[in-house]
Each structure stands twice: as C-alpha cells, then as structure tokens.
Chains A and B, each alone.
Chain A
C-alpha cells in the first residue's frame, strides 16, 4: 500500500472517529424528541391503505352523499362531477363492461378527450383517504368520517358503480373494490421505482440509446415545430430574457414593462389569496368581482362587506361559504373592498 493511500485511510478513520466523538447530548441523540400520545397518533395517523388498513368504521348512503355533494362539492366539480372549470372531471368515460373487466377501454383510444378520475383510479381506498384529508379543497378535513362515506357513495353512484339505494360502509367498500372500472389497470413492470418490492419490477430501463459520435443518421428531419399561434401564448419573450449577454428574447407580444404597472390592489388581492376563489369576470368558487360590483352599485355598504370579508360567511351568493380572513388587516380589507366595488381594475 502506498504511503499516500495509508495516510488517506488514517485520515478517514480519524474523520469517522471525530464524527462519533463529536459532542452529543448526555443521553445521545435518540433522547431528542418525545413519545407521541395515543390521542396525537389518532389525530394524525389518518392514512387508509389499498388493503383498507387504517379505514375508520362508519357508513353513508348515496342520498345523504348527494346532499353533501350539492352543498360542499358541486360548486367546483359540477353537479355530476363533470366540471372542467376548477379541476379535471371526476366522473365519466367508464362503462358497465369496464366494471366487468377492470380495464377502462377508453384509455386505449388516442382520440378520447378526457381522462377522468374514475377512468384512472384502481383503488377505492385512494378516494376515501384523499377526500377525508383534502376535500373540500377550501375547507380540508372538515368532513366527518360518515360524511366521507356518504359523499364517496354518491360519487360511486354518479360513476354507475353502485345503485341509488347503496350504503357505503367499512364492510361494503371491499365489494366496491371488485367493481372499480380500472382496478386491473395498473402495472409496476417498469424500471422507474428505486426499490425492490413490486411485482414485475424491471431491472433495465425501457430505452437504450447509444453514444454514437459521427454520421449517426443520414439526415435530421423535423417531426414537430412550434405552431405559429403558440409563439405569443406565453407573453412577450423579449421580457423573459436578459438585456445583456449573447442573446436577446424574441419579441412575441407588447411590452408590458412600458405599459402601466398593475394596480397595487390587484397585487394585494393576489397576495391575500382572494384570486384563487374570485376572478374579475368569471365565477370560480366565489362570485366574480364584476358581479359583486354590479350588485352593490350605489348601495353604500362597503363597511358591511369589509366585515364579511374579514369574518367570512355564506348565503349572499349561495351555500358555499367564504372562509374568514384572519390574517388580513382591516385597512387591507377596506382597500380590497373599495377596489372590488370600483370594478376591480387591473391597472
């Protein structure tokens, strides 16, 4: 062994020693932290697995689910789960035949327009788990376990997997699994999982390019180019590049820097999260700002609206509530309401 090699070994052994003898807490690092209480575990350990481990006891009917759906879900997902306005459609594209085979046939068609949730999902547990942890989007974790059963029963009914008089329970959900339209639609036969524990896991990647250096092919043919209409679809690219360097951005739209700066109230609305539920001209979750401005024109009720924005509430426009805005200062709320009532100008 060469001297330098030995020296390196010694140094690394010494390094390792240092790491082990570095100052540690009297009881060692495993004393850091504390045991979780059973109540804490119950509060947070809410995952439900595909084998239904973790599934809480409970039940819900399709008809109860319909009430919840219409009150808490339809505004974003549409009456039949078909809406494309806030997120992709949840329901559609599956057939009675798919329920038999467990393969959604439309997934083979390149001309099929959408891929809905029910066309893809293989495991019904996924939907229970996800709705319970994350929906409604603007009030996650607000549903009781029974409400999750009910609203899921309704979604399964919309997808024609269960009948109108069905009651979904921690027992019947196992039968539902056997009717999921795409239950056989997943494969783990690929090389993109960094572990060892799936059936069919391939050891080798599915493409095998080689390092060729000269005359690798007779000619270079273009298979696709940016369509003309897409050139300007991402704003003015000149403004998305530096003003120095070997290149400039192409001018694909008007200069916005030269145009008027956006209104500070618009920036405030963006920052305060208002724009995820409100747009100027279209309804998202809440009414559009132009609708609000139109309804209250000449009515002198800015103060009431400021309180409403701060405290949240429902009923003026529908059953969907606006959440309270605890972090918004009164001054900012006043600025925002004045801006909305003046038609929410962008500049």
Chain B
C-alpha cells in the first residue's frame, strides 16, 4: 500500500484528561472549531497542539460557569460531560429565523466573508486597469461562484443596458461577409443555445512567480482562474447564419463595447470546431457585469484576454490584427530578446488548493489533499501528487465530471505524520503532455516571460503545520 494512503484514525478513543471523552469522537478534540482564537492558532503554528485539549476544557468550563446560576443548571452540570454546543441550546436552535426573501438575491453566510476576490497590492497602479484574484483556497468542486470569478479589466467595468447592446458581424473585406448583420440581445437569445462548462485563465496567471516566489497564497499565485457553465450560441452557427465565407476566412477579430473596445485575434480553426461561443449565460443566470454582461466571447482553452467581454463586433478576416493586447502585452519575452506573439493556449497545469500557502494544518493525522487541474488542449487524463517534493508520486483520484477544457478536481487522502513535507501536483492531459517542473520551463523560456507559467507548484509543510510557498526546479 502506498505510504500516502491514510493509516486509519490514530487518535485513541479514550483520553484520561477529558471526562467522558470516550463518549465523544476523537475528531471533536482535534478540531475545536470556532473557539480557536488567533492566539491559539498562533500556538498551533508554534507546534503546540496539546493546548487544543486544554482550550476545549476551558471553553466547556466557562460555559458551565456562565450558566450555573441560571435556569439551565442541569445543562451546566452536563457541560462537563461534553460539548456545550451539543449539551446547551444554541441561539439558532432556540429562536425564530429570518423570513423568505429577506435577501431577494441570496448572499453567502456572514461567516464566509473572508473568501472574496482580492487585489495583489502593488501589482498595478490603478484599480480600473487591474486584476482581482479568486479565492481558490476556499472553493470546492470545479464551478466558481459568479461573484467570486476573477476580474481583469483594462478600462474599468461597465454595466451595459442590455436593451441597447448590439452585436455586429462583418468582414475585413466585403466578400467575407456579403451582408454584414446586426443582432440585438432579443435576436441572440432566440437562437438555439448550448451550455458548456469551461475554465478561463488569464495568460498572466502565476506570472508573478516566474523568477522566484513572490506571493503567499494560492489566491495570488493561481487565482486568475475560474470555471463556469456558459450558455450562448456557437460562433460558427452565427457566422453560418450570416453567410460568412468560412473557407476564405483565416482569423476573426473580436471587439468589446466598453471604453477599451478590447480586440483580439482568434484562429478560424477554433471557431470551426464549434467550441467558440457568443455567451450571455453564466452558471444559470446572465453574465455578471464584471464578466461582460450582457455578451462575451467564450474561447475554450485559450487565455482569458481573448474571451472579449461586452462583445459588440466580430470581424471575419484573413490576417492577424496585432491588436494592443497581442502586440504590446500578452507577448512572451524569451531569453534571446524575442517575444513570442499570439501565444494563446493555456497548457496543462494543476495546483493543490488545500492545504496551500498561508494555511496552517491544525493537527497531525488524516487530511485530504485537494486541487485543480486543467488543460487548454483537452481533458485531464491523470494527476499525480507528491509529498516529498517530486521524488515519489502517487496517482490522485479525479472527481467527475472530467470535461475538455474545464477544471477537473483531484483528491488524495494523506496522513500527515507531523514531519516537514513538500506537496506538489503534476497533471497530464489527453494529448499526453505532462505539466513541466520550474527547471524545465525556465530552461526554454527563461524567467521574464510574464505569461503562461504552468510550472509545478510546491507547498512546503513545516513541522509547525504552517504551509508556505516555495519553488523546486
């Protein structure tokens, strides 16, 4: 059996320090839930775990003292026999809750307020030409809640009036689209829709880490990554409706309707594959304004900048366009001083999201290592995980569904023995391409490329339980 497999619950079921502990699960003692103060978490960080037991007792005692003189004296005596949150009435179990539609558009629990999009201080000079990162450290499965989808704007975001939004389709030469057409949202939403799940990753994701470790958590190393179900019309179908000459066409230009009127060149091959779509739906509702409401391009497998938001125009052409964001930015500097232009595919990549940088493991024992894998060239075939910095590997389990150009969630049970560990994940896609190590990537691309860093990420677990961002070549 692999040494990564859990060896079973190690904690004894009886403990002389806790009265009646044999009646409780071992887990309760090990994770005393919310009553860990920041100081106590600090103590975990310093390697002191025995206090957890003490703090559990203290909390039980304090509750007992508080209720002693009250009407619930019976419960108070019982407190010493167990968890006060079981033995005593809870506020939510002993009162009337909120009415329906108190939040007409539902909000996450107030206890989840820390898991929000965040900027990386100093990364950009102004917030309207900047990035906010998705909190990958706290997300489950593969779908990113729309309100946590990462943001990248070049000229601020707009909340466009959908009744005034138009999509125009034309040709760079008249013969490519003989009759250029205009669509309203009413028109587009009448056409037969498709819904598909795809990841979107900014070409500059992990860009801060090309040269060395720079940021503390997976939110900042990998958080320009999200995944949604998108609903819309395949661009190929739309172009066919317009009578576009798809034989003469080699490239298309997509253009936004915001202040930047962002443009990007898309290869006709991707359009012809039927994958590129003009989308208005995201996770069952309309796109969020930050993500291009009411219409954006979805270009599966390709970096986010090509997924033009607030899409207002598609031009069919026969040469690339050298738009600002493919001639000045989103070009990858190589060691010889040349820039690779029109780099677009997001190659196979993965990252462990739990445990990950900036976190602390609360105790030794059983954990589930969990992370995300994706590839711009298709479906994920396998993910391997190492806990010794890449010397030995074990194949992880892929959660279903495993879809093409979509995030795939992997997990692996792990029994942490309390010794330092180096966690890595390594993904392979259906083309057989295996995610590279930092050494392999830098050997060909140097350290100044900014874009398309898909190297294997390492999280170092210290004896204290602290998890830190490190790099291994």
Interface residues of A (CB under 8 A from B): 19, 22, 25, 29-30, 32-36, 40-41, 44-47, 49-51, 53-54, 84-87, 103-105, 107-108, 110, 115, 117, 120-123, 125-127, 129-130, 133-134, 137, 140-141, 182, 185-198, 205-227, 230-231, 233-235, 237-252, 255, 257, 273, 275-276, 284
Contact = CB atoms under 8 A, between A and B. Distances in A.
Contacts of A185: 337-339
Contacts of A250: 41, 45, 358-360, 466
Contact of A191 (B192, B345, B393): B345
- Residue in B267, B322, B347 with the greatest tally of chain A CB atoms within 10 Å: B322
Interface stretch (B15-23, B61-69, B256-264): B256-264
Interface string B355-383: 10111111000011000000010000010
A293 to B, nearest CB: 22
Interface stretch (B94-102, B174-182, B286-294): B174-182
A154 B10 CA distance: 73
Given A121-B328, A194-B301, A197-B250, A220 B389 contact: yes
Interface in B212-231: 212-217, 219-220
Nearest to B346: A192
B435 A209 contact: yes
Nearest to B174: A41
Interface stretch (B75-83, B118-126, B144-152): B118-126
Contacts of B340: 186-190, 192
Contacts of A239: 114
B315 interface: yes
B341 A186 contact: yes
5 contacts: A50-B322, A107-B338, A129-B324, A133-B261, A187-B340
B391 A217 contact: yes
Given A194-B301, A220-B389, A241-B138, A34 B182 contact: yes
Interface string B100-141: 000000000001111100101110011111000001011000
A30 B241 contact: yes
B421 to A, nearest CB: 10
B470 A41 contact: no
A276 B128 contact: yes
Contact of B38 (A214, A216, A255): A255
Interface of B: 31, 33-34, 36, 38, 41-42, 44-45, 111-115, 118, 120-122, 125-129, 135, 137-138, 154-156, 168, 170, 172, 179-184, 187, 190-192, 212-217, 219-220, 237, 240-243, 250-251, 253, 255, 259-261, 263, 267-270, 301-302, 312-313, 315, 317, 319-324, 327-328, 331-345, 347, 354-355, 357-362, 367-368, 376, 382, 384, 388-394, 422, 426, 428, 433-441, 444-445, 447-448, 452, 460, 466-473
Contact of A207 (B38, B389, B444): B444
Given A33-B241, A220-B422, A188 B341 contact: yes
B314 to A, nearest CB: 11
Given A107-B333, A187-B338, A36 B190 contact: no
Contacts of B324: 126-127, 129-130, 134
B155 A140 contact: yes
Given A47-B315, A120-B328, A247-B354, A222 B471 contact: yes
B112 A44 contact: no
Contacts of A120: 327-328, 331, 339
Q: Which of B36, B336, B391 has the most CB of A within 10 A?
A: B391
Contact of B391 (A35, A216, A226): A216
Counting from the closest, the 7 A-B pairs by CB-CB distance are A195-B267, A220-B389, A108-B337, A207-B436, A192-B343, A130-B324, A209-B434
Nearest to B432: A211
Contacts of B390: 216-217, 220
Given A44-B168, A130-B324, A32 B187 contact: yes
A248 B331 CA distance: 38
- Point out which of B154, B242, B340 has the most chain A C-beta atoms below 10 A from its C-beta: B340
A305 to B, nearest CB: 23
A190 B255 CA distance: 25
Contacts of B441: 207
A264 B434 CA distance: 49
B344 A224 contact: no
B170 A226 contact: no
A192 B345 contact: yes
Interface centre among B129, B183, B242, B259 (most CB of A within 10 A): B259
A241 B216 contact: no
B446 to A, nearest CB: 8
Contact of B114 (A45, A189, A242): A242
A210 B434 contact: yes
A199 to B, nearest CB: 11
B241 A194 contact: no
A30 B187 CA distance: 11
Contacts of A251: 38, 41-42, 45
Nearest to A254: B38
Contacts of B376: 194
A115 B422 CA distance: 35
Nearest to B189: A32
| Residue from A36, A122, A182, A235 having most chain B Cβ neighbours under 10 A | A36
Contact of B129 (A87, A107, A210, A248): A87
B426 A29 contact: no
Contacts of A133: 260-261, 263
Given A87-B125, A190-B332, 13 more contacts: A33-B183, A49-B322, A117-B328, A121-B327, A125-B322, A126-B323, A213-B393, A226-B214, A234-B217, A237-B216, A241-B138, A243-B111, A250-B358
Given A134-B155, A194-B302, A248-B41, A226 B213 contact: yes
A73 to B, nearest CB: 15
A34 B267 CA distance: 26
A126 B471 contact: no
B132 to A, nearest CB: 12
B114 A241 contact: yes
A222 B212 CA distance: 11
Given A188-B341, A219-B391, A241 B319 contact: no
Contacts of A187: 334, 338-341
